[in-house]
Amino acid sequence: MQALGTNLEILDLRHFAAPMLRPLLEAECALWIDRLHWDYRSSARLLMQYLENRMLPGFAVVESGKVTAYVFCVYEESKAVIGDVFALPAAPEIANSASPELAREQTLLIHLLELLLNSPHVDRIESQLLLHPAGRFAHTFRAAGFEIFQRLYMVQPLQGRWSQPSVELPAHLELRPWRESDLAPAARLICEAYRNHPDSAINDQYRSVHGSMRFLNNIVRYAGCGTFATQASFVVVERASRELAGLVLGSRVSDRSGHLTQVCVHPAFRRRGVARLLLGQAAFSFMRLGAAEISLTVTEANTEAIRLYSDEGYRCAHTFDAAVWRRAASA
């Protein structure tokens, strides 16, 4: 870790009213759009509301009266999720070859990790810092006992994709648009699809129907990952049972970009082109909605899915780390 200047303080984020963090969040929004083509402004507005209500757990770096970096987490029962860490890029006259913003981010992360690791009610910590390139905090996380999983951010340009997918489903399956009433069956599907899957190690919500429902509510109802796009979300249903065989969920992350927040197929219906059809349908719908590109994230170990995405025209545009810590059971 690099040395920080002496004229700075690290304070609890709940000391600050929202306007103090506005310049920082504006700089962060600019980086999200530049690096990932995501419009982060609605997330920033939500963070501002939490800050205004002094409800966001985390820390801030204060230098000469200005907040120059922050880190925050949210709690889900006994799990803590580190949502973000970001430092204002240093002015060119201050920035030398060492990266002062990286030093601030690492310092804040270490502060938050110390707090969480010493909180007896926290038995699990997860973090996916999508904005930051893989490796940036790997050392900090590993030193605190975390396991790291590399993930890919893949993007497919949509220009010229004018035709609907031509995959033919077996006769007992049918494709239809997503409906609000699919939430509970979708939670059951996610739980089945991710049994013993690397992504269940990264996100423990996938391990239960209750957790999957929480994941879905966050995506579909609370705009937890962009604005849910009903028109770009589809399910494949088994005609006889009416149970879901597969689904794709789309969100709008900027005027020009769609994002797939979930793609999965029940193990009993795999290798029949269900995922290929769902991906094609979502891409076609986003194209008709005026998006220029579509993105998704996938774990590096999920080689089957990466093969499918590459086949469909997705290319890796960025890599990032997922970090997970579990409290060892006491003897």
Stretch that binds ligand COA, among 7-15, 93-101, 192-200, 227-235 (CB under 6 A): 192-200
Stretch that binds ligand COA, among 10-18, 47-55, 142-150, 306-314 (CB under 6 A): 306-314
Cα(147)–Cα(175) distance, rounded to whole angstroms? 38
The gap from C-alpha 142 to its chain's centroid, in whole angstroms, comes to 20
Closer by beta carbon to ligand COA, 197 or else 214: 197
When asked if residue 248 is in the footprint of ligand COA (CB under 6 A), the reply is no
When asked if residue 319 is in the footprint of ligand COA (CB under 6 A), the reply is no
Q: What angle do CA 198, 203, 206 make, to 5 degrees?
A: 85
Q: Can you give the C-alpha Rg of the chain in angstroms?
A: 21
Least spacing, CB of residue 314 vs ligand COA, in Å: 10
Stretch that binds ligand COA, among 6-14, 127-135, 168-176, 305-313 (CB under 6 A): 305-313
Stretch that binds ligand COA, among 52-60, 71-79, 214-222, 303-311 (CB under 6 A): 303-311
When asked if residue 298 is in the footprint of ligand COA (CB under 6 A), the reply is yes
Cα(38)–Cα(4) distance, rounded to whole angstroms? 31
User: What are the CA-CA distances from residue 141 to residues 55, 155, 222, 300, 323 (Å)?
Assistant: 25, 27, 29, 18, 7
When asked if residue 311 is in the footprint of ligand COA (CB under 6 A), the reply is yes
Backbone angles phi, psi at 111, to 5 degrees: -60, -50
Instruction: Identify the residue among 62, 73, 191, 193 touching ligand COA (CB under 6 A).
Output: 193
When asked if residue 250 is in the footprint of ligand COA (CB under 6 A), the reply is no
Give the footprint of ligand COA on residues 17-76 (CB under 6 A): none
Instruction: Identify the residue among 77, 168, 255, 304 touching ligand COA (CB under 6 A).
Output: 304
Q: Which residues contact 115 (CB under 8 A, 6 or more apart)?
A: none
Print the binding letters for residues 256-295 with ligand COA: x by CB under 6 A, - otherwise: -------xxx----xxxxxxx-------------------
Closer by beta carbon to ligand COA, 59 or else 194: 194
Least spacing, CB of residue 216 vs ligand COA, in Å: 14
Neighbours of 217 (CB within 10 A): 13
Q: Is 129 helix (H, G, I), strand (E, B) or coil?
A: coil
3-class secondary structure per residue, 277-313: HHHHHHHHHHHHCCCCEEEEEEECCCHHHHHHHHHCC
Q: Please count the residues of this chain forming the interface with ligand COA, following the rule CB under 6 A.
A: 21
User: What are the CA-CA distances from residue 143 to residues 92, 125, 138, 190, 323 (Å)?
Assistant: 31, 14, 8, 32, 12
When asked if residue 188 is in the footprint of ligand COA (CB under 6 A), the reply is no
Chain residues that interact with ligand COA, rule: CB under 6 A: 193-194, 197, 246, 263-265, 270-276, 298, 302, 304-305, 307-308, 311
